[in-house]
């Protein structure tokens, strides 16, 4: 038996050795294959995540540029410049760009006026004008053929930029040109560098080489123009060494000299690639979490195969790994800048560090639940924001069921209001228990910037009352409301008498003081439903819903008298106004109603000024 046992042990040893010799190459091959797969998965995940961020930044740039372009259609002197081919408007365009740079977060915005034939009337960034853009920009040619709002990337003579174009029409609704608001790609480049630590090189197709006669950055790789001014020369040299043609046409990531290059194509209005956004990141900056996880799995398998007798140690190893992964999860959980928590729909089970930083009066979830059964108790029940129940559905379920919509919550903490973008996802553990993961992103500052921009779009800069853009929009709405409900609606046109004389005698600064004094004098006399707008230099309009001509005349006379009584301490000489007053008829449209009010105003000025004239027109 001892000899048999010895033989058995020797045979077992030999078989074990053969098994090990056969298993090692197989394990090594599988190991290398899994490692390579894990690396590729990490790169693919990084590529998808980065591309999504670039897309989001481009969409934000598109929304912002479009809003600015719409706002730029309000100034009446833009239309005048197009109609009169006035090149001196360039200085005003330059001032608009400078004001945006100074007063808002939108830097490097260019503005251009283009006439109906595609000729550049003026540019905010240069005094160059008179060139035919329809021959070098497909988007300009397309808008001339079919006037409509357009948002797209485009290559001109200066650079690759994001452009938002809005057509302008004269009083006869004839197309007279367009406002072209241009945003640079540098802001996205900077944002990617700050948030993701990547370098960018934006390559413009070499087919535009001859077109870029005034290239803004002056940088080229072979015939490919480099659109972002902060592109690193080392990155450009690396792309050139690998082959700029191959990088431009690549649809996947590229590994070259310890750098990962990810490309995101940019298409023209015909769907053809016009540029490629190339991002570069050193492989040293990757954590390779999936690779490390794969390595750990192979270590566990190897330990299990070759140390079966050390099962207890293996179990201890798995326990340590589980604790490590749990700590890793909570570390990631706590480093998030958003409020993140997990709930079983009855109470919050886990919350990250940011949760307690925001609700700083609580140190534990138990303390939080002693005061609040649900975080929704802190939601302010305002229109457009989440409440405890939305259309009879608990807010958790409402967000989950409508995951393709954006959901917002307004929360008041320590007397201050915050606005959050809220997302909720159903999750479950290995036992099938259902939970909800909630992510709350603070967008208070973004909403404040948006509100400021919306205010600028519809308000007159000098007087603070509504502007012509708001007047045009509101007049159409009020006429539609009148046609639907047959409610009375009156409108008064106001013109300051001899305002040109005031400007010529005392200067435009005093003229501005007169306009301000007039607005301050009239505004307190109006009702909350009345709409007071400045529609021209010294021209104002008051829209009076639910008001017939008789009552509107009483209000207008009160306004006219009030202007006469403006103190001489405020204005240099006695101030009077002429007013044209009309009531909307059932057969009126915007044009006819506007024309009747204008004719009434003209009549008041012809009959001696400082008076009110009405116009009652019978239908013929």
First to last CA, the chain: 128
Name the pLDDT band for 541 (thresholds 50, 70, 90).
very high
Same domain, 463 and 445: no
- Give domain status of residue 470, yes or no: yes
Indicate the SS3 state at residue 119.
strand
- Give domain status of residue 309, yes or no: no
Indicate the SS3 state at residue 491.
strand
- Greater pLDDT, 376 or 599: 599
- Greater pLDDT, 369 or 582: 582
> What is the mean pLDDT of the segment spanning 52-56?
82
Is the whole-model pTM more than 0.95?
Answer: no
Same domain, 42 and 100: yes
User: Which residue among 250, 269, 286 closes a domain?
Assistant: 286
Side-by-side strand order, sheet with 109-115: 120-123, 109-115, 175-183, 160-169, 150-155
Highest mean pLDDT among 93-107, 270-284, 582-596: 582-596
Q: Sign of torsion, CA 84 85 91 96?
A: positive
- Give domain status of residue 311, yes or no: no
* CATH number reported for the structural domain that contains residue 477 in this entry: 3.30.70.270
> What is the mean pLDDT of the segment spanning 313-331?
57
Query: pLDDT digits over 4-42, tens only?
Result: 445 545 665 676 677 677 877 787 777 777 787 877 888
Instruction: Calculate ∠ Cα 552-466-617, nearest 5°.
Output: 35
Query: pLDDT digits over 468-526, tens only?
Result: 999 999 999 999 998 888 899 999 999 999 999 989 889 989 899 999 999 999 999 99
Name the pLDDT band for 603 (thresholds 50, 70, 90).
very high
> What is the mean pLDDT of the segment spanning 36-63?
80
Say which range, 99-108, 182-191, 333-342, 391-400, has the weakest mean pLDDT.
99-108
The boundaries of the domain holding residue 107 are: 14-286
Indicate the SS3 state at residue 578.
strand
Q: CA–CA distance from 176 to each of 132, 166, 534, 573 (Å)?
A: 15, 11, 24, 40
Kindly tell me if the per-residue pLDDT of 561 is higher than 90: yes
Catalytic positions, please?
538
Q: How far apart are CA 292 and CA 301, in angstroms?
A: 14
- Give domain status of residue 153, yes or no: yes
Structural domains counted in the chain: 3
Q: CA–CA distance from 309 to each of 20, 218, 303, 306 (Å)?
A: 16, 69, 10, 8
Give pLDDT, residue 584.
93
Kindly tell me if the per-residue pLDDT of 332 is higher than 70: no
Q: How far apart are CA 231 and CA 204, in angstroms?
A: 13
528 contact partners, CB below 8 Å, separation of at least 6: none
Q: How far apart are CA 306 and CA 301, in angstroms?
A: 9
Which is nearest to 351 in space by CA: 330, 322, 371, 367? 330
> What is the mean pLDDT of the segment spanning 148-160?
84
Kindly tell me if the per-residue pLDDT of 595 is higher than 90: yes
Same domain, 569 and 483: yes
Q: Where are the alpha helices (DSSP H) in 459-507?
A: 468-485, 499-506
The neighbouring-strand residues paired with 166 are 179
Same domain, 441 and 477: no
Same domain, 130 and 161: yes
Give pLDDT, residue 4.
46
Which is nearest to 266 in space by CA: 188, 199, 200, 203? 203
- Give domain status of residue 5, yes or no: no
The whole-chain average pLDDT of the chain stands at 84
Same domain, 446 and 463: no
Same domain, 78 and 95: yes
* Residue found by looking up tokens 């413009």 in the block: 204
Kindly tell me if the per-residue pLDDT of 555 is higher than 90: yes
Kindly tell me if the per-residue pLDDT of 1 is higher than 50: no
* CATH number reported for the structural domain that contains residue 20 in this entry: 3.30.450.20
Give pLDDT, residue 475.
93
Side-by-side strand order, sheet with 489-496: 531-534, 539-545, 489-496, 577-583, 612-614
Which is nearest to 553 in space by CA: 504, 485, 484, 611? 611
User: Which residue among 426, 450, 474 closes a domain?
Assistant: 450
Say which range, 197-206, 242-251, 333-342, 393-402, has the weakest mean pLDDT.
333-342
Indicate the SS3 state at residue 203.
strand
> What is the mean pLDDT of the segment spanning 318-341?
66
Same domain, 408 and 533: no
**In terms of C-beta distances under 8 Å and separation of at least 24 residues, what long-range contacts does 296-301 make, across chains too?**
296/321, 297/34, 298/27, 298/30, 298/31, 298/34, 301/27
Maximal C-alpha separation, the chain: 135
Say which range, 164-168, 178-182, 295-299, 516-520, has the weakest mean pLDDT.
295-299
Give pLDDT, residue 620.
46
User: Which residue among 422, 450, 478 closes a domain?
Assistant: 450
**In terms of C-beta distances under 8 Å and separation of at least 24 residues, what long-range contacts does 126-135 make, across chains too?**
127/90, 128/214, 129/87, 129/90, 131/157
Kindly tell me if the per-residue pLDDT of 223 is higher than 60: yes
Query: pLDDT digits over 444-474, tens only?
Result: 888 788 777 778 888 998 999 999 999 999 9
Which is nearest to 543 in space by CA: 474, 618, 614? 474
Query: pLDDT digits over 63-72, tens only?
Result: 878 888 788 7
Cβ-in-10-Å burial (0-12, 13-18, 19+) of 504 comes to exposed
Same domain, 497 and 409: no
| Rounded percentage of the chain residues whose pLDDT exceeds 90 | 27
> What is the mean pLDDT of the segment spanning 353-378?
85
- Give domain status of residue 1, yes or no: no
Indicate the SS3 state at residue 424.
strand
Cβ–Cβ contacts within 10 Å for residue 182, how many?
25
Same domain, 572 and 534: yes
Same domain, 439 and 470: no
> What is the mean pLDDT of the segment spanning 580-604?
93
Give pLDDT, residue 106.
66
Same domain, 390 and 518: no
- Give domain status of residue 306, yes or no: no
b (16+ CB within 10 A) / e for 23-53: eeeebeeebeebbeebbeebbeebbeebeeb
- Give domain status of residue 324, yes or no: no
Tokens of 570: 């405020």
**Reduced 3-state DSSP string for 515-540:** HHHHHHHHHHHCCCCCEEEECCCCEE
Residues in the chain: 620
Say which range, 235-239, 310-314, 523-527, has the weakest mean pLDDT.
310-314
């Amino acid at each position: 038996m001892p000899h048999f046992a010895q033989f058995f042990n020797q045979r077992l040893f030999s078989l074990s050795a053969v098994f090990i010799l056969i298993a090692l190459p197989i394990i090594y091959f599988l190991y290398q294959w899994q490692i390579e797969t894990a690396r590729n998965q990490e790169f693919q995940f990084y590529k998808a995540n980065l591309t999504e961020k670039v897309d989001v930044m481009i969409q934000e740039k598109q929304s912002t540029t479009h809003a600015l372009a719409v706002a730029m259609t309000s100034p009446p002197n833009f239309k005048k410049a197009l109609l009169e081919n006035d090149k001196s408007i360039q200085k005003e365009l330059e001032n608009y760009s400078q004001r945006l740079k100074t007063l808002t977060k939108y830097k490097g915005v260019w503005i251009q006026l283009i006439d109906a034939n595609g000729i550049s009337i003026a540019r905010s960034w240069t005094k160059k004008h008179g060139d035919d853009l329809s021959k070098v920009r497909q988007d300009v040619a397309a808008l001339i053929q079919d006037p409509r709002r357009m948002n797209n990337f485009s290559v001109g003579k200066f650079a690759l930029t994001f452009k938002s174009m809005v057509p302008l029409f004269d009083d006869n609704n004839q197309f007279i040109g367009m406002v072209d608001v241009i945003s640079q790609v540098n802001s996205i480049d900077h944002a990617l560098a700050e948030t993701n630590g990547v370098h960018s090189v934006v390559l413009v197709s070499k087919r535009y080489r001859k077109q870029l006669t005034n290239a803004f950055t002056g940088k080229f790789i072979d015939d490919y123009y480099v659109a972002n001014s902060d592109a690193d020369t080392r990155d450009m040299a690396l792309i050139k060494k690998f082959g700029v043609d191959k990088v431009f046409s690549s649809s996947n990531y590229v590994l070259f000299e310890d750098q990962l290059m990810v490309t995101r194509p940019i298409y023209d209005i015909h769907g053809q690639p016009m540029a490629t956004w190339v991002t570069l990141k050193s492989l040293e900056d990757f954590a390779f979490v999936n690779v490390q996880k794969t390595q750990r799995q192979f270590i566990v398998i190897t330990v299990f195969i070759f140390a079966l007798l050390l099962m207890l140690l293996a179990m201890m190893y798995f326990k340590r790994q589980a604790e490590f992964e749990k700590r890793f999860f909570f570390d990631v959980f706590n480093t998030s800048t958003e409020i993140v928590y997990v709930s079983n729909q009855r109470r919050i089970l886990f919350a990250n560090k940011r949760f307690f930083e925001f609700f700083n009066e609580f140190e534990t979830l138990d303390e939080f639940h002693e005061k609040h059964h649900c975080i929704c108790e802190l939601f302010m029940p305002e229109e457009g924001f989440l409440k405890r129940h939305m259309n009879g559905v608990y807010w958790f379920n409402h967000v989950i069921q409508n995951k393709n919509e954006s959901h917002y919550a307004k929360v008041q903490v320590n007397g201050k209001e915050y606005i959050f973008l809220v997302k909720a996802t159903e999750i479950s553990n290995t036992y099938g228990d259902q939970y909800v993961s909630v992510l709350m992103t603070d967008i208070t500052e973004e909403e404040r910037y948006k509100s400021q921009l919306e205010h600028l779009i519809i308000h007159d800069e000098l007087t603070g009352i509504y502007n012509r853009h708001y007047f045009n929009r509101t007049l159409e709405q009020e006429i539609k409301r009148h046609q639907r409900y047959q409610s009375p609606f009156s409108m008064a046109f106001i013109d300051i008498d001899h305002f040109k004389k005031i400007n010529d005698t005392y200067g435009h600064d005093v003229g501005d003081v007169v306009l301000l004094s007039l607005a301050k004098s009239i505004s307190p006399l109006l009702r909350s439903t009345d709409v007071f707008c400045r529609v021209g230099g010294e021209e104002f309009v008051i829209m009076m819903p639910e008001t017939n001509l008789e009552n509107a005349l009483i209000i207008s006379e009160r306004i006219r008298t009030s202007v006469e009584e403006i103190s001489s301490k405020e204005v240099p000489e006695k101030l009077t106004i002429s007013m044209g007053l009309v009531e909307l008829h059932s057969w009126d449209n915007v044009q006819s109603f506007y024309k009747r009010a204008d004719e009434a105003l003209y009549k008041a000025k012809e009959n001696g000024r400082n008076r009110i004239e009405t116009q009652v027109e019978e239908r013929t």
